[in-house]
């Protein structure tokens, strides 16, 4: 773990067991999970919220990952963006151009209409912590009420994750994909 907290975790076998599922394919622990493990309550909250986001039954992986990557890019949370590119982007069917487009102004990439709504949702929540009536109406034409609620869950949870990642000073791990330098500062 590289950040503001000490690297040493409490010598607690239960904490180490709880961290086992949260590892990169090469075995390294996910930085955010390792950092919040300094607090059992924070670790339990993050585990529950992550399970809820990754298990959203009404959202497909592609929609979820576009939302996650956009939120992380907008907030400048390089570490979490790289983790999701490495662990979930291929499974979600995202190509390199789409992955990079999550870090650019939304007008640059020709997103499909339903994907563009997800990008816009992440942008509106990042910019104003709410959703405009216009966007809500557009989302309602494409997504069910359950899908909208699950999209909101994903976007707001990963906004929290991005804030935690940044506040904890978690730096990108070697070998993980990184957004462009401009995106690392957040999309304007």
Q: Give tens-digit pLDDT for 49-58.
A: 999 999 989 9
Half-sphere exposure of residue 69, counting CA atoms within 13 Å on the CB side? Answer: 33
CATH code at position 154: 1.20.1290.10
* Domain carrying residue 64: 59-181
Task: Give the per-residue pLDDT at 125.
Answer: 97
- pLDDT of the residue at 9: 74
> Is residue 166 one of the residues assigned to a domain?
yes
> Residue 108 falls within a domain, yes or no?
yes
Q: Residue ranges of the chain with pLDDT lower than 50?
A: 184-185
Chain position carrying tokens 């939120």: 71
Question: What is the predicted pLDDT for the residue at 46?
Answer: 97
Residue 20 placed within a domain? no
The answer as to whether 30 is a domain residue is no
Q: How far is CA 147 from the centre of its chain?
A: 17
* Residue 165 within any structural domain of the chain: yes
Q: Say if CB 9 and CB 16 are below 8 A apart.
A: yes
Specify the pLDDT at position 36: 94
Alpha carbon distance 79, 103 (integer Å): 14
- Specify if 151 maps to a domain: yes
**pTM confidence score:** 0.91
**Total count of domains within the chain:** 1
Domain assignment of residue 118, yes or no = yes
* Assigned token pair, 24: 């990169």
The reply to whether 113 falls in a domain is yes
Q: What would the pLDDT profile of 87-128 be if each residue is shown by its tens digit?
A: 999 999 999 999 999 999 988 999 999 999 999 999 999 999
């Amino acid at each position: 773990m590289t950040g503001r907290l000490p690297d040493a975790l409490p010598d607690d076998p239960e904490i180490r067991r709880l961290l086992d599922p949260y590892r990169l394919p090469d075995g390294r622990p996910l930085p955010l999970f390792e950092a919040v493990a300094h607090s059992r309550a924070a670790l339990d909250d993050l585990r529950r919220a992550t399970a809820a986001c990754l298990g959203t039954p009404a959202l497909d992986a592609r929609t979820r990952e576009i939302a996650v990557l956009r939120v992380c890019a907008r907030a400048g949370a390089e570490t979490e963006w790289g983790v999701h590119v490495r662990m979930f982007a291929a499974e979600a069917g995202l190509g390199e151009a789409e992955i990079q487009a999550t870090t650019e102004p939304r007008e640059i990439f020709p997103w499909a209409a339903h994907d563009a709504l997800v990008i816009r949702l992440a942008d509106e929540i990042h910019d104003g912590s709410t959703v405009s009536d216009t966007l809500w109406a557009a989302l309602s034409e494409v997504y069910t009420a359950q899908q909208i609620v699950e999209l909101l869950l994903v976007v707001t949870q990963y906004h929290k994750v991005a804030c935690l990642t940044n506040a904890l000073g978690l730096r990108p791990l070697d070998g993980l994909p990184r957004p462009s330098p401009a995106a690392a500062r957040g999309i304007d």
